[in-house]
């Protein structure tokens, strides 16, 4: 019996040791907290503060870097299409990117950036792709207040083909409730800069108001509903579903609180995680990249578009700002570790291909 018990104890010890070694090997292969089935492959490196990622119908990935570079990746090499003369300080610089709904037949690329001509201001401009270079075509919006914080600015086309522009309050909260200011708003314009006739406020590009620093914008597949992520101060980072003409409360109310005249958030986080880009993989699954927290979240929605669960599915790569779903069904995530608040590694910043989520 003693010999049998001793043999059983040795077997248990070896089994436990084997499991520990296997777990340690997996931990070296993937950052702590990431989901085991996720396959993460860096596809670009040596970048600087990746701000936006957009797949084109030509199966190339277009991206912006905050210092002013617009680049494209064809699956093998990265090419620089333009270097814009941006004013990069703090959170200001080159930000959002969108391709024309008719791209590449209609060869327009839309960007949002901070410029300095005397005073600093945020601008939305349309560029034209000519061969392997982008040339200036037309300024669509200009003169929005800018600052070293709370500039926004994500660009996406809605289902009607109108351009949506998120714009932060540029560090002055009262602008979000000021109808004469374009800051603290989501704006909606045509591809030539004109105001659509069906905007909620006649003659105004304002689509929704009461926003602090919105940095994520995505359309829900099958519905065209517009979802938005935005930063709270020290509480109540939000996911909102946009209703034309609605007021989302900043700085009067925050989060999911309900108050007359204000639209509550669908979901909120306290303490803050600094939500950035969002992207739908299907009508029930919304992914969110976060900066302060440095994690990728998977939010599950019900049939009515309400958020019913939140799960962290990836971490360990630092600050995450840019996010899109590729034609292969994988997520492409841009890091933001060189933005002055992160801890940059030798390969940062990177674009990561994340499959299996």
Q: Which residues are catalytic?
A: 150
**How far apart are alpha carbons 88 and 68 in whole angstroms?**
8
Q: Two tokens at 158?
A: 């809605």
DSSP labels, 172-227: -GGGGG-TT--TTEEEEE-TTSPPPTTSSSTT--EEEE--S-EEEEEEPTTT--EE
- Is the distance from CB of 310 to CB of 267 less than 8 angstroms? yes
Count how many Cα atoms sit within 13 Å of the Cα of residue 6 in the half-sphere of its side chain: 3
Which stretches of the chain are DSSP H helices? Answer: 2-29
**How far apart are alpha carbons 60 and 49 in whole angstroms?**
20
Q: How far is CA 290 from CA 10, 277, 295, 314, 322, in A?
A: 46, 8, 5, 11, 9
Q: Two tokens at 51?
A: 């701000």
If we measure between CA atoms, which residue out of 96, 101, 100, 102 comes closest to residue 84? Answer: 96
- DSSP secondary structure code for residue 313 in this structure: E
Q: In degrees rounded to 5, what are phi and psi of residue 10?
A: -65, -40
| Token pair 């997996």: residue | 26
**How far apart are alpha carbons 113 and 153 in whole angstroms?**
8
| C-alpha torsion angle, residues 305, 307, 309, 315 (rounded to 10) | 100
For the beta sheet containing 206-209, the strands, ordered from the edge strand earlier in sequence to the opposite edge, are 155-157, 163-167, 185-189, 206-209
Q: In degrees rounded to 5, what are phi and psi of residue 149?
A: -140, 160
């Amino acid at each position: 019996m003693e010999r049998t018990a001793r043999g059983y104890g040795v077997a248990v010890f070896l089994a436990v040791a084997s499991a520990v070694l296997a777990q340690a090997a997996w931990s070296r292969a993937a950052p702590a907290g990431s989901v085991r089935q996720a396959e993460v492959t860096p596809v670009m490196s040596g970048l600087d503060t990746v701000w936006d990622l957009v797949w084109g119908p030509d199966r190339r990935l277009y991206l912006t870097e905050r210092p002013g570079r617009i680049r494209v990746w064809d699956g093998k090499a990265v090419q620089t299409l333009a270097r814009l003369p941006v004013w990069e300080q703090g959170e200001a610089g080159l930000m959002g990117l969108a391709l024309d709904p008719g791209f590449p037949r209609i060869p327009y690329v839309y960007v949002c950036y901070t410029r300095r001509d005397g005073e600093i201001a945020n601008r939305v401009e349309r560029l034209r792709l000519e061969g392997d270079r982008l040339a200036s075509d037309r300024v669509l919006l200009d003169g929005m207040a800018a600052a070293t914080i709370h500039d926004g600015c994500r660009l996406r086309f809605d289902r009607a083909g109108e351009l949506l522009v998120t714009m932060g309050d540029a560090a002055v909260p009262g602008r979000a409730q000021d109808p004469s200011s374009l800051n603290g708003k989501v704006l909606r314009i045509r591809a030539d800069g004109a105001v659509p006739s069906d905007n909620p406020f006649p003659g105004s590009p304002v689509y929704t108001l009461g926003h602090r620093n919105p940095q994520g914008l995505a359309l829900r597949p099958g519905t065209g509903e517009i979802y938005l992520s935005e930063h709270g101060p020290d509480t109540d980072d939000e996911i909102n579903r946009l209703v034309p003409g609605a007021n989302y409360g900043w700085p009067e109310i925050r989060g999911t609180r309900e108050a007359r005249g204000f639209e509550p958030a669908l979901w909120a986080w306290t303490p803050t995680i600094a939500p950035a880009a969002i992207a739908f993989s299907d009508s029930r699954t919304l992914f969110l990249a976060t900066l302060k927290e440095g994690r990728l979240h998977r939010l599950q929605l019900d049939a009515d578009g309400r958020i019913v669960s939140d799960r962290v599915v990836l971490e360990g790569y630092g600050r995450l700002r840019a996010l899109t779903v590729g034609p292969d069904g994988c997520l492409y995530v841009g890091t933001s570790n060189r933005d002055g608040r992160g801890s940059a590694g030798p390969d940062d910043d990177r674009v990561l291909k994340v499959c299996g989520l």
